[in-house]
A and B are shown apart, each in its own frame.
Chain A
């Protein structure tokens, strides 16, 4: 993709058109949005109830399990949405609609990728805000202003990271069946192998290692800090088997992963889109 040749207005026009199309689809078929909100809310109730009688000290630094779980579910919602972001592109490939985009003199075919990023980011934010409101209503707290900034920054990084992988898969895999199967395989194991539902101290050693290397954990822990205390980037957020990580470290790792994934997928996108 030759940046120097971009005509910014044309890039804006086509990105807006592509994003608008995704939102029209969402408006007329809102089930994805609703399911994405309902599922974590149901989990919040069910898991909240399941662990309501957890012994004291089981979750240090939080008042209740719901208070602990909120961060995990916010991240999981954004993660699931981003992981599914390749599906519309895969369907466009399969049904030939992508060809309609590829024969158009787009200022840059990057607009196809950008529109997916914008769409999923906005969708994830809407879903996350609803979950945050429900959590607040249930008495599980609300981050301060600085904390909110950390929540949304973390979510943007996670969405960029996972969306880039999902878009990549949408080009690499032969069809939507394979993509859905892979999403199915990745989704829940990554959730359970993170600190979304339980702290590392509660896990067997091997799972603790897995959880402390899981990108979801690097997103969950800073958000959890934002929920449970006054936000401070230097506070230790993750007690990993290999050492303690502060909020800043977690976000930096997530940022590095995002940049790395964007660099990795770029040649593939170039090959597929040019």
Chain B
């Protein structure tokens, strides 16, 4: 059953179009992943869902409530864990949770019980009465998550919750998310970590440049690619012309498809081979015939990164690297600041 329906969502910040007619559906009680490189529009989408940013166009319905027209009703339904952890350094963790519960109008008994339960669940007993300013990154993230969960929201929205975390904190958060999903909570998780989305998400969208480029369950998306993924190099750093010639050779072989020249990886060639056929021997023969030697050849089962590669012609890591230095984070922060 669709719990959240997003239709033709768009948002611009002065000259940057962050979201371009985005549409998606999220089922009740599922963990929904939003995957994409930095700058793809994930955080803008999350902020719109959290009622922090108003879209320029489009519609969002959460449990049949119009988010744009009734943001206050939506706020009762959602818990939000922001990408940048904003804690009051002067308050202790317990005081922060107490403060947060008053903002959600919880009564004393309910407040006390929920705070105690979350402290236990997130293993915060040892440090909850210390000031937030003394917390490590993992502790901050856990207290932030606890604050988002205090009022037992129907929908939990998390914006890159495990960025920069130690393995212990990451595992605790992953386990908690699994438990919450099993309890029927709808979870929206944005991430640029492929393994996180692959392991946790029931379904996902991949966003690039403000657009949905793929949507489905992780296995559906991977299966769409067909067989195994091959990465081929005839030299450590080929030229485009050389790779183009090889891709022409490959396209003549029956059973090889989805050939992409990956510029960011020294013009390596990525393609999919039909599982049923033994094509690699044939491939070697064809390349030798055209006087190409194989420098490296890696075979793997399709991953979400391959899905991204297939749709955009670059890996997620390459997209991250290409964005480095292009974004004016200070300007973006000012633009999104109220």
Contacts and interface: CB of A to CB of B under 8 A. Distances in A.
Interface of A: 10, 13-14, 16-17, 20-21, 24-25, 28-29, 93-107, 171, 174-175, 272-273
Given A93-B337, A96-B82, A106-B103, A29 B90 contact: yes
Contacts of B99: 17, 20-21
Contacts of B88: 21, 25, 97
Contact of A171 (B52, B82, B338): B338
A96 B336 CA distance: 10
Contacts of A21: 88, 91, 99
Contact of B75 (A14, A104, A171): A104
Interface of B: 50-52, 72-73, 75-76, 78, 80, 82, 84, 86-88, 90-91, 95, 99-100, 102-105, 131, 147, 334, 337-338
Q: Which of B50, B90, B100, B338 gathers most chain A CB within 10 Å? A: B338
Nearest to A93: B337
B52 A99 contact: yes
Given A10-B105, A24-B95, A98-B338, 16 more contacts: A13-B105, A14-B103, A16-B102, A17-B99, A21-B88, A25-B91, A93-B338, A95-B86, A96-B82, A96-B84, A97-B88, A99-B82, A99-B86, A100-B103, A100-B147, A103-B78
A94 B337 contact: yes
A103 B78 CA distance: 8
Determine the main DSSP class of A at the interface with B: helix
A101 B52 CA distance: 10
A103 B50 contact: yes
A175 B334 CA distance: 9
A102 B338 contact: yes
A102 B52 contact: yes
Given A17-B99, A25-B88, A96-B84, A272 B76 contact: no
A107 B105 contact: yes
B82 A17 contact: no
B62 to A, nearest CB: 13
A14 to B, nearest CB: 6
Nearest to A5: B72
A156 to B, nearest CB: 26
A99 B102 CA distance: 16
A71 to B, nearest CB: 34
Nearest to B105: A10
Contacts of A101: 103
25 contacts: A13-B105, A14-B102, A14-B103, A16-B102, A21-B91, A21-B99, A24-B91, A24-B95, A25-B88, A25-B91, A93-B337, A93-B338, A94-B337, A97-B86, A101-B103, A102-B51, A102-B338, A103-B51, A103-B52, A103-B75, A105-B72, A105-B104, A105-B105, A174-B334, A273-B338
